[in-house]
């Protein structure tokens, strides 16, 4: 039998933790909890969760710092930021510092469970061998080991960055709209304003893999249409 997937909830409002925990356990997840940022960071390091739900405003250390430190340590666990609806800037900042996704409060449990499922499913998904790209512009993707390198040097990508890259690189020259990418890479059936997530992720990816991120040679923009990987 497959081992249960574990979700770490880092949130200081106990009533929110309790309701999320109840719903996650009902869906068959193991649940870890932390009520402040420092405890959350520690639980992320030692508990090795499969996904983290991370509040922004937390005692001791804010959620952004927790996420940033984990990424600096090379921890690429999927992170969903829980943010207040008004704080539009938080969404972008969260993605900039390496979160995979965000969900705005108040959220429905149904939506939250769908996001958790989509993010964990992607992690568990094996990349098919045919998504392997040849070395293009010094970039090599090794799908066996989930390893991307540039001019022989390994590059640390988040789960989402890796999946976006392998998806685009697996279909070189084919242009995908942001909505296509949301559906194919993010596994979302709905999109709304979230297409901006794609832009931010593309920008972060370019900063990591392009020689000159301002003039990308690998992940290209087809203005008004979408993004594509440089053709062979
Ligand atoms: Ca809070």
Nearest to 107 by CA among 14, 193, 182, 20: 20
Q: Nearest Cα to 39, choosing from 52, 50, 29?
A: 52
In terms of C-beta density within 10 A (0-12 exposed, 13-18 middle, 19 or more buried), how is residue 121 classed?
Answer: exposed
Average pLDDT over residues 23-50: 96
Q: How far is the CA of 166 from the centre of ligand 1 (A)?
A: 35
User: Which comes out higher in pLDDT, residue 139 or 36?
Assistant: 36
pLDDT tens per residue across span 185-201: 877 665 555 778 899 89
Distance 56 CA to ligand 1 centre (A): 6
Query: What pLDDT does 184 receive?
Result: 83
CA–CA separation, 15 and 33 (whole Å): 12
Handedness of CA 80, 103, 206, 170 (dihedral sign): positive
Confidence of residue 12 (pLDDT cuts 50, 70, 90): very high
Distance 58 CA to ligand 1 centre (A): 5
User: In the prediction, which pLDDT does 130 show?
Assistant: 47
For the segment 170-189, the average pLDDT, to the nearest whole number, is 84
Percent of the chain with pLDDT over 70: 87
Q: 85 versus 4: which is more confidently predicted?
A: 4
DSSP type of residue 194:
G
C-alpha 55 to ligand 1 mean position (Å): 6
Q: What is the pTM of this model?
A: 0.67
Q: What pLDDT score does 129 carry?
A: 43
Q: For residue range 198-225, what is the model confidence (pLDDT) as tens digits? A: 998 999 999 999 999 999 999 999 998 9
Phi-psi region of 216 (alpha: psi -120 to 50; beta: other; left: phi over 0): beta
Q: What is the pLDDT of residue 80?
A: 93
* Among the listed residues 129, 118, 121, 227, the one whose alpha carbon sits nearest the alpha carbon of residue 170: 129
Average pLDDT score, the chain: 86
């Amino acid at each position: 039998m497959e081992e249960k997937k574990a979700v770490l909830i880092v949130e200081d409002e106990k009533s929110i933790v309790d309701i999320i925990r109840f719903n996650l356990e009902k869906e068959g997840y193991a649940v870890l909890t932390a009520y402040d940022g420092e405890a959350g960071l520690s639980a992320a390091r030692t508990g090795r969760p499969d996904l983290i739900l991370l509040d922004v405003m937390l005692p001791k250390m804010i959620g952004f710092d927790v996420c940033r430190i984990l990424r600096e340590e090379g921890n690429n666990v999927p992170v969903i930021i829980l943010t207040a609806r008004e704080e539009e800037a938080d969404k972008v900042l969260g993605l900039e510092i390496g979160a995979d996704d965000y969900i705005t409060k108040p959220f429905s449990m149904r939506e939250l469970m769908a996001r958790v499922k989509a993010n964990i499913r992607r992690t568990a998904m094996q990349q098919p061998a045919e998504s392997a790209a040849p070395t293009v512009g010094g970039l090599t993707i090794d799908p066996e080991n989930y390893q991307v390198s540039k001019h022989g040097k390994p590059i640390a990508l988040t789960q989402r960055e890796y999946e976006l890259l392998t998806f685009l690189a697996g279909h070189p020259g084919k242009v995908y709209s942001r909505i296509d990418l949301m559906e194919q890479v993010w596994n979302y059936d709905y999109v709304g304003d979230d297409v901006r997530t794609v832009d931010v992720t593309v920008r972060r990816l370019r900063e990591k893999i392009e020689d000159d991120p301002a003039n990308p040679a690998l992940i290209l923009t087809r203005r008004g249409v979408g993004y594509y990987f440089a053709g062979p």
